[in-house]
Chain A
C-alpha cells in the first residue's frame, strides 16, 4: 500500500446549472502511469481534466494533485495541460508560442527539445494562423510539455494527427512515463486506449469501469476493447 498517487479524485461532482456533468467520480492515477480517459462526447472528460488542473472547482468531493489539494496555484508549475482545441496565439510563430508558455513556467531551455519532439523544429518560424489543423495540434502539445511537467493532462492530443506521427507520439509518451511523468490522456480511439496502462470509462458523468485494458476486456466480456466498452456502456444504460 506504499503506492504514490499523482492524482486522486475522490467522489467528485460538478454541475453546470442544474446539469450534472460529473456525478461522484472516484479515481486514482499512479505516478509514472499513462491513464486513459475514455467516453463518448459529453461524457465529462474535459470537465474532469479541468477539475484536476484547478480550472473548475468541484461542488462536492476532493481533487488531490501531487499531494496538494486543488485548486492550488503552486502545483500548476508541475502540470502541463493541452486543451482540446489548440489554444494558441495565431499571430505568433510556432517558436514564439512555445517560448511564451516556457517563459511563464520558467523553463525556456526546453523550447528546442519540445519543438523537436513534435517535429516542428523545421517549421518553428511559421506563423500559427497559417498552419494546418494537425500542425497546430502538435504546436499545442509542445506548449503543454515544454516545461517538463510531472503531470501531463492531454485532452484528445492525437485528434488530427497523422498515423506515423501518432505512433511516434505514443513512443514519446511512453518514454516520458518511464522517466516518471504521469499522463492522463482522453481519447475516443480504442487502439490508443490499448496503449494506456490503465483506463477509466466515463459516461454521463460517472466512472463505469476502471482497470488495465485486459481488465476492461474481462469486465466487458469481449476480446475486442471497443465491444467491451460498448457492453459496459450498455449495462449502465439499462
Chain B
C-alpha cells in the first residue's frame, strides 16, 4: 500500500468532477429534489378525501353522526343521496360514501349500529381516513345513547377490489407498468449515449438516414424488447404472485407498449442533454423517483397537497398508472372514458417526445 499512489487515484477522480460541473450539480441537486418532494407529500397539508353522507335515519341520531362526519378533519363530507353514491364513486368525485340506514336510531338504542361504508377501492390507503372519521363520530354518538354501550358493525362494500385484495394487488397493477417504463428508459438513455460516444451516431448522421428514422427505429427495437419483458413480468405477476386482474391481458399489453414507447423517447430526448454516462446515470433517479412519488402509485393523487396535484396531472406516469389500475383493478375495457383518456394522454406524450427527440437530434448537426 502506497499512500502516494492512493492519493493519486483519489485526486484524479475529483479532478474529473471539477470539470464536469453538470454531474456535480446533479449530484447535489438530486437528493434535495427527491427528499424535498417526499417531505412535501408526507408533511404538506394533504387534502382530505371527498366523502358522501346519506343520512336516511328517521330518528334523531343519524343527524348527529352526519354532523360529526362533516366536522371531521380527516375527510370532507357532503350530503348525498344514497342512490347517487355509486355513480359518484365511478366518476371519481367521491372516494367513499356512508349510508346511515332508516332504522339507525333504533339500532343505536338496541346496542348495535350497522352503517354502510361504500369504498371506491381502487387505490390503496384511501379508506383509512374514512374509517377514522366514522369511528370518531360514533364515539360522540355513544355519549348520546344513555345507559348502554353501542357496538359498531360497519358494513364495508367495495365498488372495485375488495377484502380479498391485498396491498400487492394495488401496487402490483401499477408496478407491472412501472417496471417496464423504468428499465426501458435506462436501457435507451445508456445505449443512445453509447451511440454518441463510440462515434457511430456521427456515422449515422453522415448516412442517408433521416433523424425521424433513427428515433422510430430505436423506438421499435426497444419496444420489442419491452414487450418481451412485459410478457415475463405479467406472467410472473399473474401466475406466480397471483395479483388480481379484472381486465383484459391484451389491454395491459397495449398500455405497457405505450409506456415503453414513452420511455424510449424520453431516454432519447434526455440523452441529448447528457455528455457522459455519469450524467445519464444522474438523470435516472431525477426522472424516475419524482414520477414514482407523484404518479399515485404509493400516495393517491387526490390526497396530495394541491400544488403537487398540479404536477401529478402533467406527468405521463400518473395517467399510465391510473390506466393500469383501471384495467387490472376495475376491469376497464376500451369503452371506458377514463381509460380512453389515460391512453390518449400517454399516447400524446409519446408523440410529443418523438417530436422532441427528433428535434434535439437535428440540433446537434449544426
Contacts and interface: CB of A to CB of B under 8 A. Distances in A.
Contact of A83 (B202, B210, B365, B366): B202
A73 B208 contact: yes
A81 B203 contact: yes
B8 to A, nearest CB: 28
Contact of B199 (A57, A76, A83, A104): A83
B198 interface: yes
A77 interface: yes
A55 interface: yes
A200 interface: no
A76 B202 contact: no
- In the A-B complex, the 3 residue pairs with the smallest Cβ-Cβ separation, listed nearest first, are A87-B199, A81-B206, A77-B208
A55 B204 contact: no
B200 A76 contact: no
A53 B213 CA distance: 19
Given A73-B210, A83-B202, A101-B207, 17 more contacts: A57-B365, A76-B208, A77-B208, A79-B206, A83-B199, A83-B203, A85-B199, A86-B199, A87-B198, A87-B200, A88-B200, A90-B198, A101-B203, A104-B207, A105-B208, A106-B208, A143-B203
A105 B207 contact: yes
A165 to B, nearest CB: 22
Interface string B255-292: 00000000000000000000000000000000000000
Contacts of B199: 83, 85-87
Interface of B: 198-200, 202-210, 365-366
A89 interface: yes
Main secondary structure of the interface of A (DSSP, over half): loop
Contacts of A71: 365
Contacts of B205: 55
A85 B209 CA distance: 21
Contact of B206 (A53, A74, A85, A106): A53
Max chain A CB contacts within 10 Å: which of B205, B209, B366?
Answer: B205
A104 B200 CA distance: 13
A54 interface: yes
Contacts of B203: 81, 83, 87, 101, 143
A25 B203 CA distance: 24
Given A57-B365, A57-B366, A73-B210, A104 B204 contact: yes
Max chain B CB contacts within 10 Å: which of A53, A85, A87, A106?
Answer: A87
Nearest to B195: A89
Contacts of B200: 87-89
A233 B127 CA distance: 83
A45 B65 CA distance: 85
Interface in A82-113: 83, 85-90, 101, 104-106
Interface string A55-80: 11100000000000001011011010
B198 A89 contact: yes
Nearest to A78: B208
A54 B200 CA distance: 16
A167 to B, nearest CB: 27
A54 B207 CA distance: 10
B346 to A, nearest CB: 30
B358 to A, nearest CB: 14
17 contacts: A54-B206, A55-B205, A57-B366, A71-B365, A73-B210, A74-B208, A76-B208, A77-B208, A83-B199, A83-B202, A83-B203, A87-B202, A88-B198, A89-B198, A104-B207, A104-B208, A105-B207
Contacts of B208: 73-74, 76-77, 104-106
A76 B198 contact: no
Contacts of A86: 199
A90 B200 CA distance: 10
B206 A76 contact: yes
A76 B207 contact: yes
A86 B202 CA distance: 11
A53 B112 CA distance: 86
A44 B210 CA distance: 27
A46 to B, nearest CB: 10
Contacts of A56: 365-366
Nearest to A87: B199
Max chain A CB contacts within 10 Å: which of B198, B205, B208?
Answer: B208
B365 to A, nearest CB: 7
A79 B206 CA distance: 8
Contacts of B366: 56-57
A81 B209 CA distance: 14
A74 B365 CA distance: 16
Max chain A CB contacts within 10 Å: which of B205, B207, B366?
Answer: B207
B349 to A, nearest CB: 28
A104 B199 CA distance: 16
A104 B209 contact: yes
A105 B206 CA distance: 11
A57 B364 CA distance: 11
